[in-house]
Structure 1
Protein backbone atom coordinates (compact mmCIF):
# COMPACT_ATOMS: atom_id res chain seq x y z
CA UNK A 1 0.00 0.00 0.00
CA UNK A 2 1.45 3.43 -0.93
CA UNK A 3 2.30 5.65 2.00
CA UNK A 4 -0.30 8.34 2.66
CA UNK A 5 1.75 11.48 2.18
CA UNK A 6 -0.37 13.82 4.27
CA UNK A 7 1.36 17.16 3.55
CA UNK A 8 0.98 18.29 7.16
CA UNK A 9 2.63 15.21 8.66
CA UNK A 10 6.22 16.01 7.71
CA UNK A 11 5.85 19.59 8.93
CA UNK A 12 4.30 18.43 12.23
CA UNK A 13 7.07 15.88 12.80
CA UNK A 14 9.75 18.39 11.88
CA UNK A 15 8.35 20.91 14.37
CA UNK A 16 8.24 18.28 17.11
CA UNK A 17 11.81 17.11 16.49
CA UNK A 18 13.14 20.67 16.37
CA UNK A 19 11.44 21.47 19.67
CA UNK A 20 12.96 18.34 21.19
CA UNK A 21 16.30 19.44 19.80
CA UNK A 22 16.12 22.65 21.82
CA UNK A 23 15.80 20.57 24.97
CA UNK A 24 18.86 18.52 24.05
CA UNK A 25 20.84 21.62 23.07
CA UNK A 26 20.06 23.24 26.42
CA UNK A 27 21.53 20.18 28.14
CA UNK A 28 24.79 20.37 26.16
CA UNK A 29 27.88 21.55 28.02
CA UNK A 30 31.42 22.51 26.89
CA UNK A 31 32.87 19.90 29.25
CA UNK A 32 32.43 16.13 29.55
CA UNK A 33 29.91 14.97 32.12
CA UNK A 34 30.44 11.88 34.24
CA UNK A 35 33.61 10.08 35.29
CA UNK A 36 32.54 6.60 36.35
CA UNK A 37 30.55 4.29 34.07
CA UNK A 38 27.48 4.70 36.26
CA UNK A 39 27.74 8.49 36.07
CA UNK A 40 28.04 8.44 32.26
CA UNK A 41 25.04 6.12 31.99
CA UNK A 42 23.02 8.38 34.31
CA UNK A 43 23.79 11.36 32.06
CA UNK A 44 22.74 9.39 28.97
CA UNK A 45 19.45 8.36 30.56
CA UNK A 46 18.78 11.92 31.73
CA UNK A 47 19.18 13.17 28.17
CA UNK A 48 16.82 10.51 26.84
CA UNK A 49 14.18 11.17 29.46
CA UNK A 50 14.24 14.94 28.99
CA UNK A 51 13.82 14.73 25.22
CA UNK A 52 11.19 11.98 25.26
CA UNK A 53 9.09 14.06 27.61
CA UNK A 54 8.60 16.65 24.87
CA UNK A 55 8.70 14.38 21.82
CA UNK A 56 6.49 11.36 22.44
CA UNK A 57 3.02 12.93 22.62
CA UNK A 58 3.40 15.26 19.60
CA UNK A 59 4.51 12.36 17.41
CA UNK A 60 1.72 10.02 18.47
CA UNK A 61 -0.77 12.86 17.99
CA UNK A 62 0.60 13.65 14.52
CA UNK A 63 -0.16 10.16 13.18
CA UNK A 64 -3.45 8.67 14.33
CA UNK A 65 -3.14 4.96 15.14
CA UNK A 66 0.66 4.94 15.27
CA UNK A 67 2.48 3.06 18.03
CA UNK A 68 5.69 3.69 19.95
CA UNK A 69 8.74 1.42 19.83
CA UNK A 70 9.93 1.70 23.42
CA UNK A 71 13.49 0.31 23.38
CA UNK A 72 15.83 2.46 21.28
CA UNK A 73 18.54 -0.23 21.39
CA UNK A 74 16.21 -3.00 20.20
CA UNK A 75 16.56 -4.73 16.86
CA UNK A 76 14.55 -7.09 14.72
CA UNK A 77 11.19 -6.85 13.01
CA UNK A 78 8.32 -4.89 14.50
CA UNK A 79 4.70 -6.09 14.56
CA UNK A 80 2.53 -5.01 11.60
CA UNK A 81 1.37 -1.42 11.47
CA UNK A 82 2.96 1.98 11.91
CA UNK A 83 5.56 2.55 14.61
CA UNK A 84 7.60 5.54 15.70
CA UNK A 85 11.25 4.55 16.02
CA UNK A 86 12.93 7.43 17.80
CA UNK A 87 16.39 8.20 19.07
CA UNK A 88 16.01 11.17 21.43
CA UNK A 89 19.78 11.66 21.50
CA UNK A 90 21.40 9.87 18.56
CA UNK A 91 25.07 10.07 19.49
CA UNK A 92 24.25 10.45 23.18
CA UNK A 93 27.75 9.30 24.16
CA UNK A 94 29.16 12.20 22.13
CA UNK A 95 26.78 14.67 23.76
CA UNK A 96 27.82 13.77 27.30
CA UNK A 97 31.49 13.95 26.29
CA UNK A 98 31.08 17.50 24.92
CA UNK A 99 31.51 16.42 21.29
CA UNK A 100 29.31 17.88 18.54
CA UNK A 101 28.17 14.74 16.65
CA UNK A 102 24.63 14.17 17.94
CA UNK A 103 21.08 14.64 16.75
CA UNK A 104 17.41 13.98 17.44
CA UNK A 105 15.73 11.51 15.08
CA UNK A 106 12.14 10.39 14.53
CA UNK A 107 11.17 7.82 11.92
CA UNK A 108 7.78 6.39 11.07
CA UNK A 109 8.10 2.72 10.16
CA UNK A 110 5.27 0.97 8.34
CA UNK A 111 5.36 -2.83 8.16
CA UNK A 112 9.11 -2.82 8.83
CA UNK A 113 10.02 -0.21 6.24
CA UNK A 114 10.79 3.43 7.10
CA UNK A 115 8.41 5.76 5.30
CA UNK A 116 9.07 9.18 6.87
CA UNK A 117 12.00 10.55 8.82
CA UNK A 118 13.34 13.74 10.36
CA UNK A 119 16.90 14.11 11.63
CA UNK A 120 17.69 17.43 13.33
CA UNK A 121 21.16 18.63 14.34
CA UNK A 122 20.53 21.26 17.02
CA UNK A 123 24.06 22.72 17.05
CA UNK A 124 24.02 23.57 13.33
CA UNK A 125 20.27 23.96 12.83
CA UNK A 126 20.36 21.53 9.90
CA UNK A 127 17.36 19.27 9.34
CA UNK A 128 17.38 16.20 7.09
CA UNK A 129 14.00 14.87 5.96
CA UNK A 130 12.74 12.10 3.71
CA UNK A 131 9.35 10.70 2.78
CA UNK A 132 8.95 7.47 0.83
CA UNK A 133 8.81 8.20 -2.92
CA UNK A 134 9.14 11.94 -2.27
CA UNK A 135 12.91 12.32 -2.08
CA UNK A 136 15.36 13.36 0.63
CA UNK A 137 16.27 16.90 1.62
CA UNK A 138 18.68 18.89 3.73
CA UNK A 139 16.59 21.84 4.84
CA UNK A 140 14.96 22.64 1.47
CA UNK A 141 17.74 21.31 -0.77
CA UNK A 142 17.37 17.91 -2.47
CA UNK A 143 19.98 15.32 -1.56
CA UNK A 144 21.78 13.01 -3.97
CA UNK A 145 24.24 10.22 -3.24
CA UNK A 146 27.75 10.08 -4.68
CA UNK A 147 28.30 9.32 -8.37
CA UNK A 148 31.50 7.35 -7.68
CA UNK A 149 32.02 4.02 -9.38
CA UNK A 150 35.45 3.08 -7.98
CA UNK A 151 35.62 1.64 -4.47
CA UNK A 152 39.30 2.53 -4.45
CA UNK A 153 38.31 6.21 -4.49
CA UNK A 154 35.64 5.86 -1.83
CA UNK A 155 35.30 7.30 1.67
CA UNK A 156 33.42 4.65 3.65
CA UNK A 157 32.49 4.11 7.27
CA UNK A 158 31.25 1.82 10.00
CA UNK A 159 30.99 1.68 13.79
CA UNK A 160 29.55 -0.28 16.67
CA UNK A 161 25.83 0.03 17.26
CA UNK A 162 25.90 -0.15 21.06
CA UNK A 163 28.23 -1.01 23.94
CA UNK A 164 28.59 -4.61 25.01
CA UNK A 165 27.85 -6.36 21.75
CA UNK A 166 29.01 -9.94 21.42
CA UNK A 167 32.62 -10.85 20.63
CA UNK A 168 31.71 -12.14 17.15
CA UNK A 169 30.27 -8.74 16.21
CA UNK A 170 33.38 -6.93 17.44
CA UNK A 171 35.58 -9.36 15.49
CA UNK A 172 33.55 -8.80 12.30
CA UNK A 173 33.86 -5.03 12.71
CA UNK A 174 37.63 -5.30 13.00
CA UNK A 175 37.96 -7.64 10.03
CA UNK A 176 35.70 -5.46 7.89
CA UNK A 177 37.72 -2.34 8.67
CA UNK A 178 40.91 -4.15 7.64
CA UNK A 179 39.29 -5.36 4.44
CA UNK A 180 37.96 -1.93 3.55
CA UNK A 181 41.28 -0.25 4.33
CA UNK A 182 42.62 -2.42 1.52
CA UNK A 183 39.64 -2.07 -0.82
CA UNK A 184 38.63 1.55 -0.25
CA UNK A 185 40.42 4.87 0.01
CA UNK A 186 39.68 5.93 3.61
CA UNK A 187 37.63 4.27 6.37
CA UNK A 188 35.88 6.17 9.15
CA UNK A 189 35.01 4.30 12.34
CA UNK A 190 32.73 6.41 14.51
CA UNK A 191 29.35 6.71 16.17
CA UNK A 192 26.49 7.29 15.72
CA UNK A 193 25.35 5.54 12.53
CA UNK A 194 22.87 8.24 11.53
CA UNK A 195 25.57 10.90 11.43
CA UNK A 196 27.50 8.83 8.90
CA UNK A 197 24.39 7.92 6.91
CA UNK A 198 23.39 11.55 6.39
CA UNK A 199 26.81 12.00 4.75
CA UNK A 200 26.10 9.04 2.44
CA UNK A 201 22.73 10.54 1.51
CA UNK A 202 24.38 13.90 0.81
CA UNK A 203 27.15 12.38 -1.33
CA UNK A 204 29.91 13.33 1.14
CA UNK A 205 30.59 9.67 1.98
CA UNK A 206 30.15 6.72 -0.34
CA UNK A 207 29.10 3.80 1.89
CA UNK A 208 28.28 2.79 5.44
CA UNK A 209 27.89 -0.71 6.84
CA UNK A 210 27.03 -2.15 10.24
CA UNK A 211 27.03 -5.64 11.74
CA UNK A 212 23.98 -5.01 13.90
CA UNK A 213 20.21 -4.64 13.67
CA UNK A 214 19.67 -1.81 16.17
CA UNK A 215 16.69 -0.10 14.54
CA UNK A 216 16.98 3.42 15.89
CA UNK A 217 20.42 3.98 14.38
CA UNK A 218 19.52 2.70 10.92
CA UNK A 219 15.93 3.49 9.94
CA UNK A 220 16.40 7.24 9.46
CA UNK A 221 19.57 6.88 7.42
CA UNK A 222 18.19 3.98 5.40
CA UNK A 223 15.28 6.10 4.15
CA UNK A 224 17.46 9.16 3.54
CA UNK A 225 19.94 7.14 1.47
CA UNK A 226 17.21 5.35 -0.50
CA UNK A 227 15.38 8.56 -1.28
CA UNK A 228 18.67 10.20 -2.31
CA UNK A 229 19.19 7.47 -4.89
CA UNK A 230 21.37 5.06 -2.92
CA UNK A 231 21.20 1.29 -2.52
CA UNK A 232 20.33 -0.19 0.87
CA UNK A 233 20.66 -3.94 1.50
CA UNK A 234 21.82 -6.44 4.04
CA UNK A 235 25.29 -7.95 3.66
CA UNK A 236 23.93 -10.79 1.54
CA UNK A 237 22.64 -8.25 -0.98
CA UNK A 238 18.97 -8.67 -0.08
CA UNK A 239 16.71 -5.60 0.34
CA UNK A 240 17.08 -4.27 3.88
CA UNK A 241 14.24 -4.09 6.41
CA UNK A 242 14.12 -3.79 10.18
CA UNK A 243 14.18 -7.60 10.29
CA UNK A 244 17.63 -7.73 8.63
CA UNK A 245 20.61 -8.72 10.76
CA UNK A 246 23.16 -6.41 9.12
CA UNK A 247 23.23 -3.36 6.88
CA UNK A 248 24.91 -1.72 3.90
CA UNK A 249 24.00 1.66 2.40
CA UNK A 250 26.04 2.81 -0.56
CA UNK A 251 26.17 4.83 -3.72
CA UNK A 252 24.89 2.56 -6.52
CA UNK A 253 28.18 2.72 -8.39
CA UNK A 254 30.17 1.12 -5.56
CA UNK A 255 27.54 -1.00 -3.81
CA UNK A 256 28.46 -4.27 -5.57
CA UNK A 257 32.17 -3.77 -4.90
CA UNK A 258 31.55 -2.96 -1.23
CA UNK A 259 29.30 -6.02 -0.92
CA UNK A 260 31.98 -8.27 -2.40
CA UNK A 261 34.45 -7.06 0.26
CA UNK A 262 32.05 -7.33 3.20
CA UNK A 263 29.84 -10.36 2.49
CA UNK A 264 32.59 -13.00 3.11
CA UNK A 265 33.15 -11.70 6.66
CA UNK A 266 31.08 -14.13 8.72
Structure 2
Protein backbone atom coordinates (compact mmCIF):
# COMPACT_ATOMS: atom_id res chain seq x y z
CA UNK A 1 0.00 0.00 0.00
CA UNK A 2 1.25 3.49 -0.83
CA UNK A 3 1.84 5.47 2.35
CA UNK A 4 3.27 8.70 0.95
CA UNK A 5 1.05 11.78 1.16
CA UNK A 6 1.78 12.81 -2.43
CA UNK A 7 0.67 10.79 -5.43
CA UNK A 8 3.17 11.15 -8.26
CA UNK A 9 2.57 9.68 -11.69
CA UNK A 10 4.54 9.38 -14.91
CA UNK A 11 2.51 8.89 -18.07
CA UNK A 12 4.57 8.19 -21.15
CA UNK A 13 3.32 9.46 -24.49
CA UNK A 14 1.01 11.86 -22.68
CA UNK A 15 0.79 14.70 -25.18
CA UNK A 16 -2.12 13.18 -27.09
CA UNK A 17 -4.85 10.56 -27.13
CA UNK A 18 -5.12 8.06 -24.29
CA UNK A 19 -2.04 9.43 -22.56
CA UNK A 20 -3.36 12.99 -22.50
CA UNK A 21 -6.78 11.88 -21.25
CA UNK A 22 -5.10 9.84 -18.51
CA UNK A 23 -2.91 12.78 -17.47
CA UNK A 24 -5.91 15.07 -17.10
CA UNK A 25 -7.95 12.51 -15.20
CA UNK A 26 -5.02 11.63 -12.91
CA UNK A 27 -4.54 15.30 -12.08
CA UNK A 28 -8.23 15.60 -11.20
CA UNK A 29 -7.73 12.66 -8.80
CA UNK A 30 -4.91 14.41 -6.98
CA UNK A 31 -1.83 13.10 -8.77
CA UNK A 32 1.18 15.26 -9.54
CA UNK A 33 1.86 14.47 -13.20
CA UNK A 34 4.92 14.10 -15.40
CA UNK A 35 3.69 14.52 -18.98
CA UNK A 36 6.21 12.65 -21.13
CA UNK A 37 6.53 13.41 -24.83
CA UNK A 38 9.10 12.89 -27.55
CA UNK A 39 8.11 15.30 -30.35
CA UNK A 40 5.12 17.55 -29.69
CA UNK A 41 6.27 20.00 -27.02
CA UNK A 42 3.38 22.37 -27.71
CA UNK A 43 0.77 19.67 -27.08
CA UNK A 44 2.56 18.45 -23.94
CA UNK A 45 2.74 21.98 -22.51
CA UNK A 46 -0.96 22.44 -23.29
CA UNK A 47 -1.75 19.43 -21.11
CA UNK A 48 0.42 20.84 -18.32
CA UNK A 49 -1.39 24.17 -18.59
CA UNK A 50 -4.78 22.49 -18.30
CA UNK A 51 -3.61 20.61 -15.21
CA UNK A 52 -2.33 23.80 -13.61
CA UNK A 53 -5.50 25.70 -14.47
CA UNK A 54 -7.39 23.02 -12.57
CA UNK A 55 -5.22 23.55 -9.52
CA UNK A 56 -2.92 20.57 -10.12
CA UNK A 57 0.82 20.19 -10.45
CA UNK A 58 2.53 18.92 -13.59
CA UNK A 59 5.54 19.32 -15.82
CA UNK A 60 6.35 18.22 -19.35
CA UNK A 61 9.44 16.11 -19.95
CA UNK A 62 10.90 15.29 -23.35
CA UNK A 63 12.39 11.80 -23.43
CA UNK A 64 12.60 8.94 -25.90
CA UNK A 65 11.58 6.04 -23.67
CA UNK A 66 13.54 3.63 -25.85
CA UNK A 67 16.79 5.36 -24.83
CA UNK A 68 18.06 4.33 -21.40
CA UNK A 69 19.97 7.51 -20.54
CA UNK A 70 16.98 9.69 -21.45
CA UNK A 71 14.73 7.54 -19.26
CA UNK A 72 17.14 7.81 -16.33
CA UNK A 73 17.29 11.59 -16.71
CA UNK A 74 13.48 11.79 -16.83
CA UNK A 75 13.19 9.89 -13.56
CA UNK A 76 15.86 12.10 -12.00
CA UNK A 77 13.74 15.14 -12.92
CA UNK A 78 10.61 13.52 -11.50
CA UNK A 79 12.44 12.93 -8.21
CA UNK A 80 13.53 16.57 -8.19
CA UNK A 81 10.33 18.28 -9.33
CA UNK A 82 7.55 16.05 -7.99
CA UNK A 83 9.03 13.63 -5.46
CA UNK A 84 8.98 9.82 -5.21
CA UNK A 85 7.00 8.20 -8.00
CA UNK A 86 3.96 6.17 -6.93
CA UNK A 87 2.38 5.34 -10.28
CA UNK A 88 3.52 4.65 -13.83
CA UNK A 89 1.47 4.36 -17.01
CA UNK A 90 3.46 2.88 -19.88
CA UNK A 91 1.46 4.35 -22.73
CA UNK A 92 4.01 5.51 -25.32
CA UNK A 93 4.05 3.46 -28.48
CA UNK A 94 4.55 3.45 -32.23
CA UNK A 95 2.08 2.46 -34.93
CA UNK A 96 3.24 2.62 -38.54
CA UNK A 97 1.39 2.37 -41.86
CA UNK A 98 -0.86 -0.58 -42.49
CA UNK A 99 1.02 -3.39 -44.18
CA UNK A 100 1.19 -7.13 -44.49
CA UNK A 101 4.31 -8.80 -43.10
CA UNK A 102 6.02 -8.93 -46.50
CA UNK A 103 5.95 -5.13 -46.64
CA UNK A 104 7.40 -4.56 -43.17
CA UNK A 105 11.06 -3.65 -43.22
CA UNK A 106 13.71 -4.75 -40.76
CA UNK A 107 14.12 -1.12 -39.66
CA UNK A 108 10.41 -0.65 -39.05
CA UNK A 109 10.20 -3.82 -37.00
CA UNK A 110 13.10 -2.71 -34.80
CA UNK A 111 11.52 0.73 -34.29
CA UNK A 112 8.30 -0.90 -33.17
CA UNK A 113 10.08 -3.19 -30.72
CA UNK A 114 12.16 -0.34 -29.34
CA UNK A 115 9.29 2.03 -28.73
CA UNK A 116 6.62 -0.44 -27.68
CA UNK A 117 8.61 -2.99 -25.67
CA UNK A 118 11.97 -1.57 -24.66
CA UNK A 119 10.40 1.70 -23.50
CA UNK A 120 8.03 -0.16 -21.19
CA UNK A 121 10.91 -2.27 -19.87
CA UNK A 122 13.17 0.71 -19.14
CA UNK A 123 10.51 2.87 -17.48
CA UNK A 124 9.27 -0.03 -15.36
CA UNK A 125 12.80 -0.80 -14.23
CA UNK A 126 13.41 2.77 -13.07
CA UNK A 127 10.01 2.99 -11.36
CA UNK A 128 10.42 -0.29 -9.52
CA UNK A 129 13.85 0.70 -8.22
CA UNK A 130 12.11 3.61 -6.46
CA UNK A 131 8.77 2.03 -5.51
CA UNK A 132 9.94 -1.32 -4.12
CA UNK A 133 9.65 -1.72 -0.36
CA UNK A 134 12.73 -3.92 -0.65
CA UNK A 135 14.62 -0.79 -1.69
CA UNK A 136 13.03 1.39 0.99
CA UNK A 137 10.17 2.60 -1.19
CA UNK A 138 6.48 2.74 -0.34
CA UNK A 139 5.09 0.52 -3.07
CA UNK A 140 3.20 1.63 -6.13
CA UNK A 141 1.24 0.68 -9.18
CA UNK A 142 2.05 0.23 -12.87
CA UNK A 143 -0.42 0.05 -15.73
CA UNK A 144 0.79 -1.00 -19.15
CA UNK A 145 -1.19 0.07 -22.21
CA UNK A 146 -1.34 -2.99 -24.44
CA UNK A 147 -3.83 -3.40 -27.29
CA UNK A 148 -6.68 -5.67 -28.27
CA UNK A 149 -4.40 -6.37 -31.25
CA UNK A 150 -2.38 -8.64 -28.96
CA UNK A 151 -5.38 -10.98 -29.12
CA UNK A 152 -6.60 -10.38 -32.66
CA UNK A 153 -3.14 -10.27 -34.27
CA UNK A 154 -4.14 -7.36 -36.56
CA UNK A 155 -3.66 -9.39 -39.77
CA UNK A 156 -3.07 -7.40 -42.92
CA UNK A 157 -2.65 -4.16 -40.99
CA UNK A 158 -0.32 -4.04 -37.99
CA UNK A 159 1.03 -7.51 -37.31
CA UNK A 160 4.29 -6.05 -35.96
CA UNK A 161 2.41 -3.73 -33.60
CA UNK A 162 0.20 -6.59 -32.43
CA UNK A 163 3.23 -8.78 -31.76
CA UNK A 164 4.86 -6.04 -29.71
CA UNK A 165 1.71 -5.73 -27.62
CA UNK A 166 1.66 -9.50 -27.13
CA UNK A 167 5.08 -9.08 -25.58
CA UNK A 168 3.67 -6.40 -23.27
CA UNK A 169 1.01 -8.87 -22.13
CA UNK A 170 3.65 -11.46 -21.24
CA UNK A 171 5.77 -8.79 -19.56
CA UNK A 172 2.78 -7.67 -17.49
CA UNK A 173 2.04 -11.19 -16.29
CA UNK A 174 5.62 -11.98 -15.36
CA UNK A 175 6.41 -8.64 -13.75
CA UNK A 176 3.22 -8.65 -11.69
CA UNK A 177 4.30 -11.89 -10.01
CA UNK A 178 7.90 -10.75 -9.64
CA UNK A 179 7.19 -7.53 -7.76
CA UNK A 180 3.98 -8.38 -5.88
CA UNK A 181 5.95 -9.15 -2.68
CA UNK A 182 7.62 -5.74 -3.03
CA UNK A 183 4.37 -3.78 -2.71
CA UNK A 184 3.95 -3.10 -6.43
CA UNK A 185 0.93 -4.00 -8.53
CA UNK A 186 1.24 -4.39 -12.32
CA UNK A 187 -1.80 -4.54 -14.58
CA UNK A 188 -2.70 -3.72 -18.18
CA UNK A 189 -5.47 -2.36 -20.35
CA UNK A 190 -6.05 -3.57 -23.89
CA UNK A 191 -7.79 -0.78 -25.81
CA UNK A 192 -9.03 -1.18 -29.33
CA UNK A 193 -10.89 0.94 -31.88
CA UNK A 194 -10.43 4.17 -29.93
CA UNK A 195 -10.88 7.57 -31.57
CA UNK A 196 -7.33 8.93 -31.44
CA UNK A 197 -4.97 10.27 -34.08
CA UNK A 198 -2.84 7.12 -33.88
CA UNK A 199 -4.90 5.85 -36.81
CA UNK A 200 -3.60 8.76 -38.87
CA UNK A 201 -0.11 7.40 -38.20
CA UNK A 202 -1.34 4.10 -39.59
CA UNK A 203 -2.45 5.79 -42.81
CA UNK A 204 -6.22 5.59 -42.27
CA UNK A 205 -7.61 8.39 -40.08
CA UNK A 206 -11.17 7.14 -40.56
CA UNK A 207 -10.44 3.50 -39.67
CA UNK A 208 -12.81 3.38 -36.70
CA UNK A 209 -15.79 4.59 -38.66
CA UNK A 210 -14.99 2.06 -41.39
CA UNK A 211 -15.02 -0.93 -39.06
CA UNK A 212 -17.39 0.09 -36.26
CA UNK A 213 -20.21 -2.03 -37.71
CA UNK A 214 -18.07 -5.11 -36.90
CA UNK A 215 -17.73 -4.11 -33.24
CA UNK A 216 -20.42 -5.67 -31.01
CA UNK A 217 -21.19 -2.28 -29.42
CA UNK A 218 -21.38 -0.74 -32.93
CA UNK A 219 -19.18 2.23 -32.06
CA UNK A 220 -15.63 3.31 -31.39
CA UNK A 221 -14.37 4.20 -27.96
CA UNK A 222 -13.10 7.45 -26.50
CA UNK A 223 -9.74 8.04 -24.77
CA UNK A 224 -11.54 9.00 -21.57
CA UNK A 225 -13.10 5.54 -21.38
CA UNK A 226 -9.63 4.01 -21.39
CA UNK A 227 -8.35 6.57 -18.90
CA UNK A 228 -11.10 5.64 -16.45
CA UNK A 229 -10.02 2.00 -16.51
CA UNK A 230 -6.36 2.96 -16.04
CA UNK A 231 -7.13 5.15 -13.05
CA UNK A 232 -9.22 2.39 -11.46
CA UNK A 233 -6.32 -0.07 -11.78
CA UNK A 234 -4.00 2.49 -10.20
CA UNK A 235 -6.36 3.21 -7.33
CA UNK A 236 -6.81 1.60 -3.94
CA UNK A 237 -10.15 0.29 -5.21
CA UNK A 238 -8.01 -2.23 -7.13
CA UNK A 239 -5.72 -2.93 -4.17
CA UNK A 240 -6.02 -6.74 -4.53
CA UNK A 241 -5.71 -6.73 -8.31
CA UNK A 242 -2.45 -7.51 -10.06
CA UNK A 243 -1.58 -9.32 -13.27
CA UNK A 244 -5.02 -8.41 -14.62
CA UNK A 245 -6.11 -7.21 -18.06
CA UNK A 246 -9.08 -5.02 -18.91
CA UNK A 247 -10.17 -5.20 -22.56
CA UNK A 248 -11.65 -1.90 -23.71
CA UNK A 249 -12.69 -2.66 -27.25
CA UNK A 250 -16.47 -2.64 -27.44
CA UNK A 251 -16.78 -6.40 -27.12
CA UNK A 252 -14.11 -7.40 -29.64
TM over 0.5: no
Bigger fraction of residues in helix = 2
Bigger fraction of residues in strand = 1
Q: What TM-score do the two structures reach when normalised by structure 1?
A: 0.28
